[in-house]
A and B are shown apart, each in its own frame.
Chain A
């Protein structure tokens, strides 16, 4: 047995049905108790490496595997996955698809039950984990009503309950806000104190740079660089930029979100006034998820209703600018976007622009939202058909122009679902342009993207704004705001926190 807890020897791997060799002759060793950060562009093989360690390759994802992986003295190729359950624990990227139970309690005990522990022992472990992580208030709730951050806490807890020696995190912060990320940071520190070996694959670096022991930079299926934690933390922004990584330091005000900044409520100007003639005016945007039961007559929401999830009596958005919408998870950013574009029918808000008023279904025509999961909004069997579907009258030349301007003309006849994530997003944006919407809303367009893709999205948003559209982009990525936003709009508990020029 070697002194390394993870030992990857000359491994090459190719997914079944894919021409690309995703890992080429990679060797990596990890000492017990170390914290390792894997970074690099999307598709560089970070996730593949994680899957090699937790055994999903070769047991779940099939392909051609060469080389040998040993984890905690076990040869992965000859170890069944369920035997690894108590050894390696994995926290995945998407909180919504890693739950098996529908309630929080059931989720935490799910792993220990599977490996057949004694019920008393399981309950004891659950109690320990709950105390350590301070998640008592999350117990007994339905997983479907938790926020992204809370879901990720439960995912960490359910991994902890199996007491694994090795913990893998695959882009764990993608869907989290700043508060939830700092909780995740604390969780990692706690695991370190317990002597766990931790491997994290991540694009967001600012919350990890001070706590990792080693940094591995992946490029095109190979380990391109390796640094110690201190060395990496001392890199200047130029070096990071060359590596196409997200910045190590983010502007403080953005990383803190709204906190603290909204304190000065009455005294300082929270809203940069925009002249009405140069803006899009939003009026009477009220909405609540907890409406009183009604029998016959549905009352519309009023400003002084209690429990409003969204309460914006009046707001002038600067036209032709990119406006970043920030705020904590569950504070009403998505609700705001959904109300503005008219998807929440019960919100009776009105939009005024260029002397015209849009209300009810009119808002749907005036605005267009590109959703976080673009898979939900692609319907047809070719990219061209997708664009034509959005047009009032089919115009193939204009369709080609739009596709060319976004650099996706070559995929014109492809099936949208066969494209990569970034390309799909461009198709969705192309349909928005084709629909001739003046107000474009983006919900988390860069979650889980690497830096070069994020840069591209940022440039695209700027171009959209320059051609006269107003762009609202809800985001947790301070990096993106830094790249492209002209204004920041902060939503706090459904109310307007501030609107400021960057």
Chain B
């Protein structure tokens, strides 16, 4: 199933707004959990079973811990640590799942034409597209550097936390700058950033599912705002 990138962006926007409003009544909790289920289901539809399962497991575990075992007067250090930790997971997990879904399923091309349809300036569109393109590259570079550090036996920076970060960041920055430079040169020779209006073979249309999701997310936002600030 293909969603319009605009729907996906809308989802991220609403979910981020909702996670900032804490759920206080059982009804609000129910709405929130239902909202979290939507991106999980979308991940399953996209056959990303492992990540769907992983996210669900983490979210459920954090929910169970928060509700069943812990309360505000959990006194011991361990308990307060766990409360804090699972509190954060419960609070922000919906956001992470949605963002993961969007990044994993949106083609850069689609994304750029969506941004164009929303009449955003090219400067913003191109920079965001480059950022999206760059995530997997950073991951690749990072794992190569970690390998090299293991080989040198300096994964832990010789016990020095600052060194540990320094050893990782310096080569990473150098290679990212290099790759970024080559990448822009290659993109420019293929006409990126010209004065001509860019076209796209990805036809964007808001379909029924898109409207359905937009409606669902809008109502979640309305419910939260109503119950928390108006009623």
Contact = CB atoms under 8 A, between A and B. Distances in A.
Most B-side CB within 10 Å, residue of A106, A293, A371, A380:
A106
Interface of A: 54-56, 59-61, 80-86, 88-90, 92, 94, 96-103, 106, 109-119, 122-123, 126, 144, 158-159, 162, 293, 338, 341, 343, 364-365, 368-369, 371, 373, 375-380, 389-390, 417, 431, 435
A117 B200 CA distance: 9
Interface in B164-195: 166-167, 170-171, 174-175, 178-179, 182-195
Given A102-B136, A106-B107, A373-B144, A84 B189 contact: yes
A119 B109 contact: no
A62 B170 CA distance: 25
B41 interface: no
Given A375-B174, A379-B167, 6 more contacts: A80-B195, A113-B201, A115-B191, A119-B200, A368-B151, A379-B148
A293 B140 CA distance: 23
Contacts of B191: 81-82, 85-86, 111, 114-115, 162
B194 A114 contact: yes
Contacts of B192: 82, 100, 110, 114
Contact of A100 (B50, B154, B186, B201): B186
Given A92-B186, A103-B107, A376 B203 contact: no
Nearest to A126: B201
Contacts of A380: 167
- Summarize B's interface: helix, strand, loop or mixed: helix
In the A-B complex, the 5 residue pairs with the smallest Cβ-Cβ separation, listed nearest first, are A82-B194, A85-B191, A114-B191, A377-B148, A116-B196
Interface of B: 50, 107-109, 129, 132-133, 136-137, 140-141, 144-145, 147-154, 166-167, 170-171, 174-175, 178-179, 182-201, 203
A371 B144 contact: yes
A365 B195 CA distance: 56
Contact of B185 (A56, A377, A379): A56
A431 B189 contact: no
B175 A375 contact: yes
Given A100-B187, A162-B190, A375-B178, A117 B148 contact: no
B3 to A, nearest CB: 16
